[in-house]
Amino acid sequence: MSELTRIDESLSALIRGAKAGDEAAFEGLVRRHYDQIYRWALARTGDRDEAEDVTQETLVRLHRHLGGFDGRSAFNTWLYQVTRSAAADLHRKRTRRARLALKVKQESTAVAIDPREDEETTDERRASDLVKAFLERLSERQREIFDLVDLQGFSTVEVSAMLKMEPVTVRSHLFRARKAIRGKILESHPELVEGYGH
């Protein structure tokens, strides 16, 4: 039995068990995909705190909607859609709340303290700054496509299924994202760009 088949079978067993109400199987399924869900959420939101909330919401929705997973698409594709929908809903809520918070903030002079300041190690902060510097150049859609294809290795066909989008549209977003990211990379290496006529 190949490694891939074994992985597929163990995943199927977890999904079957979780659908039948086996809590241990559900936990197994979550443990297996937890970091992946967070990563998707992070690429989608571009914000660590928001990504944590999206991950949490996705776990609740995973439990609620798993019965509806019929195996017609890959589990990853289905789970990605659950994550995206959780991210979109939370984003809407946050936008509403942010409007209210802005009102309060305008009336207050209190200094905001970043709760993550003590939790993050220097390496994490450096990584976080790097990611932020790059990803903030991209739109939400470009960010998620660039992360899925170039950084996580999904094919454009897989991503088009995950996002329910034409492959040609996926590629178009991908190219724009690459151009923005690579432009940023080359900004710190002007000697490499010298001599090219733009």
Partner 1 sequence: MATNCNAAFERLLEADPAELAGQGDSEVAVHVRECARCQAVGAKLLVGQEQLAGALTQMVPHTAVDRALSAARVRRAKAHRRQQFWQWGPVAAAAAIAGVMILQALGGAPMLEGEIGPVPAAIVPLVEAPAGLNVMVFETRDQSAKVIWFY
Q: What does the alpha-carbon distance between residue 62 and residue 69 come to, in Å, rounded to a whole number?
A: 10
Burial class (CB in 10 A: 0-12, 13-18, 19+), 178: middle
Nearer to partner 1, 34 or 103 (CB): 34
Nearer to partner 1, 71 or 193 (CB): 193
Query: CA dist 130 to 46, 53, 134, 182, Å?
Result: 12, 22, 6, 14
Least separation in angstroms between CB 127 and partner 1: 4
Please enumerate in sequence order all residues whose Cβ is within 8 A of that of 47, keeping only pairs 6 or more positions apart, or say none: none
Interface residues toward partner 1, by CB under 8 A: 27, 30-31, 34-35, 38-39, 42-43, 48, 51-52, 55-56, 59-60, 63-64, 116, 119, 123-124, 126-128, 130-131, 134, 147, 150-151, 175, 178-179, 181-183, 185-186, 189, 192-193, 195-197
Least separation in angstroms between CB 138 and partner 1: 11
Q: Are 87 and 44 in contact (CB under 8 A)?
A: yes
Least separation in angstroms between CB 108 and partner 1: 27
Nearer to partner 1, 164 or 198 (CB): 198
Least separation in angstroms between CB 33 and partner 1: 10
Cβ atoms < 10 Å from Cβ of 153:
8
Least separation in angstroms between CB 11 and partner 1: 17
The end-to-end CA distance of the chain, in Å, is 54
Nearer to partner 1, 105 or 132 (CB): 132
